[in-house]
Structure 1
Amino acid sequence: MGDHGWKGPPSPDRHYDVQSTYFPPEVPAAHDNTNPFASDNPFMNSSSGPDVNEFSPDPHQTVAPVPTASASSAPSTLAFNESQLPTHHVHGKVGDGVPRAQPYPNSLPTASGPPLPVHGGGDPVSNLEQNAKYAFWNLRRYRRYFNVDTEDVIIRMKDSVVGFIKPDFLEKINDNEDLYGPFWIVMTLIFVSAVVGNYSSYENYKRQHTSITGQAAGTWYYDVDKVLYSAILFFGYVWILGAILFALLKFIFKSEVSLPQVWCTYGYAMTVFIPASFFCFFPNVISRWVLTAFATATSGVFLLLNFRGPIFDSAGAKALPIWLAMGACHLGLGLILRLYFFKYQAVKLEL
């Protein structure tokens, strides 16, 4: 390093020295103390800030002013406008006399340009025609008969039990009949009646064959055939007997009633037998007769009053025998339930 201290290598144009401040040739050094950033310099009045060799810009250069926020300036407010797109309020339910939800339009309007087509839109008539184009073995043909939700099924079940005196069930389900509710009502009755029948047999077994020690003697058998017999009884009554009634009214007397309407009415008429079957768990002969009679009378009146109009309007002089035959078949259903499923039966023992 020699006597010159630590310096950079010599250069014909520039010299570097750590003990001095270097200024490029194009930026001349300022010898005045003018500082345009004095008001904004946090080190101006500080003893720790830089006080020598401060950089000063070219006095001939124009410094662009920097806009600053003013305390008096008002804050910006965002404004929102209401949407001009059309909205559709869905209302109404199936089967309560209240109109169903309005059908979806075939197209939706847009702000500009042609309307957008909607897949599946249209009026109910076109939807019925669209379903009818499928063959009878295609499941898409029958999907309209399952277009219900839980609230729809509950309303129709309530109408068949509480509102059986007012014969307007066929009017409520007009063009909106379903097979979902009747199917599950019948399926529930099949298992409930089979369980109650076997429970009645078990109670009879305990009551009649109890040993002196208080323990039941012998072996009790569960009658699994009751499930099969119950299925034959309820499916035959709702679906087969309903189809026979429809054939009489439609092909002989030219009635306008449809087969799904008949099945829907017959299926919901079985609703009252579900709670009656549960209460028949109690091992009391009189209570079982009363419950079975009440369920049979309630559902029978519901069927007779609702089919009175279609039968008497189309059958003429033969309407009364058909109407009475309906009541006799329903009375037979109640007797089978009481004498076979809800009866104490003697059970064979293995000693």
Structure 2
Amino acid sequence: MASTNDPFQFQEFEEAGNLLEANRDATTISIEDDDMPERQRKAAGFTPDVDDKDPHASDDKTELLSGQNKSAPFWTFEYYQRFFDIETHHVKERIIGSMLPWPGKNFIHVHLRRSPDLYGPFWICTTLVFALAISGNFSNLLLNLGKPGHKYSPQFGKVTIAATAIFSYAWFVPLALWGCLLWRNNKIMNSVSYSFMEIVCVYGYSLAIYIPAVVLWIIPFEWLRWCSIVVALCLSGSVLVMTFWPAVREDHPKVIAAIMSAIVLLNVLLAVGCKAYFFSKPEASLSAAPSAALQLTKAPSAT
């Protein structure tokens, strides 16, 4: 018969049983239970760790899981701020890709990767504006250098004209093309579609090749100027044609010809118009001025 003071007897279970018999309404709690209800944790005096839960992190996780990213309206500064957040090597790659197009490679798919920027197009257009105005003034200075009676006066108005022409081409032409492509995609349900910012980005980078061409226009040789125009037109036009060809190739042949012709024609008009206005020869006006002066001096002697 076992002794009542046996040290191997589990006394704690007997004590727990006696306590439960004394108070049958008591609630037992297991601390090791991970699935403890919140009400029992509060009753036991356990308070949740506030630091472990970040409401902002849960909101971000919910936003990412739902796939709904908050985007600012297009009339706010925050909307355009993300288009200027780009690395320098990405801008360099896009400039090189616009100057050296490769057959069969789409500029948007290869270089933009659905992340267009406005940093590169803005500075390319600005650089081209000042390159046109400065090169035009410097070319005019070289043509009239050493001529008697010539007084050089810088034409600052050319900066305004160049800015109007370049930025109008870089913004209004993509806007018209985007509207046309959007209208045709609704008609034929084309699988390839571009956003307005992607089209603006392509047009902005396509103007990069004209900057070295404009610098070469300072040299007063017409054959060199026309050769540089042809090379710049071929490179810039090929980038535009290869980029927008997938968006129109499933359309009607007449529509394809009209859109592609308009893209190439506007590019040619920009290059030829800038060359004709900023680098035109003033020999006719200069030769007409001395003859008019001679007639005015001879008129009083005849009377």
Normalising by structure 1, report the TM-score. Answer: 0.59
What is the CA RMSD across the aligned residues, in angstroms?
3.0
Counterpart in 1 of 2:69? 129
**2:166 aligns with one of 222, 225, 234:** 234
Superposition deviation, residue 303 in structure 1: 0.6
In structure 2, what is the Cα distance between the partners aligned to 1:120 and 1:279? Answer: 57
Verify: 1:180 aligned to 2:119, yes or no: yes
Q: Judging changes above 3 Å, is the alpha-carbon distance between structure 1 residues 178 and 283 closer, same or farther for their aligned structure 2 residues?
A: same
Verify: 1:299 aligned to 2:236, yes or no: yes
Verify: 1:248 aligned to 2:180, yes or no: yes
Verify: 1:261 aligned to 2:198, yes or no: yes
User: CA contact under 8 A between 1:246 and 1:258: conserved in structure 2?
Assistant: yes
* Residue deviations 1:291-328 (CA, integer Å, cap 9, x gap): 12211221011111111111223566412211111111
Verify: 1:144 aligned to 2:82, yes or no: yes
Q: Which amino acid aligns with 1:276?
A: A
Q: Which amino acid aligns with 1:201?
A: N
Matches within 5 A, 1:162-201: 162-172=100-110, 173-201=112-140
Q: Judging changes above 3 Å, is the alpha-carbon distance between structure 1 residues 291 and 143 closer, same or farther for their aligned structure 2 residues?
A: same
Identity %: 24
In structure 1, what is the Cα distance between the partners aligned to 2:85 and 2:203? Answer: 18
In structure 2, what is the Cα distance between the partners aligned to 1:124 and 1:276? Answer: 47
Counterpart in 1 of 2:98? 160
In structure 1, what is the Cα distance between the partners aligned to 2:122 and 2:150? Answer: 39
Counterpart in 1 of 2:227? 290
In structure 1, what is the Cα distance between the partners aligned to 2:99 and 2:74? Answer: 33
In structure 2, what is the Cα distance between the partners aligned to 1:319 and 1:120? Answer: 47
In structure 1, what is the Cα distance between the partners aligned to 2:199 and 2:68? Answer: 19
In structure 2, what is the Cα distance between the partners aligned to 1:272 and 1:113? Answer: 56
Verify: 1:223 aligned to 2:166, yes or no: no
Q: Which moved more, 1:113-122 or 1:256-265?
A: 113-122
| Higher RCO structure, 1 or 2 (CA under 8 Å, sep 6+) | 2
How many residues of Structure 1 are paired with residues of Structure 2 in the alignment?
Answer: 231
Counterpart in 2 of 1:308? 245
In structure 2, what is the Cα distance between the partners aligned to 1:340 and 1:285? Answer: 14
User: CA contact under 8 A between 2:101 and 2:238: conserved in structure 1?
Assistant: no
User: CA contact under 8 A between 2:133 and 2:159: conserved in structure 1?
Assistant: yes
SS of the aligned residue for 1:177 comes to: coil
Q: Which amino acid aligns with 2:113?
A: N
In structure 1, what is the Cα distance between the partners aligned to 2:68 and 2:138? Answer: 46
Q: Judging changes above 3 Å, is the alpha-carbon distance between structure 1 residues 162 and 124 closer, same or farther for their aligned structure 2 residues?
A: farther
Residue ranges of structure 2 left out of the alignment (5+ in a row)? 1-50, 294-303
SS of the aligned residue for 1:253 comes to: helix
Q: Judging changes above 3 Å, is the alpha-carbon distance between structure 1 residues 135 and 115 closer, same or farther for their aligned structure 2 residues?
A: closer
Counterpart in 1 of 2:47? none
In structure 1, what is the Cα distance between the partners aligned to 2:280 and 2:200? Answer: 29
* Residue deviations 1:77-112 (CA, integer Å, cap 9, x gap): xxxxxxxxxxxxxxxxxxxxxxxxxxxxxxxxxxx9
In structure 2, what is the Cα distance between the partners aligned to 1:124 and 1:155? Answer: 31
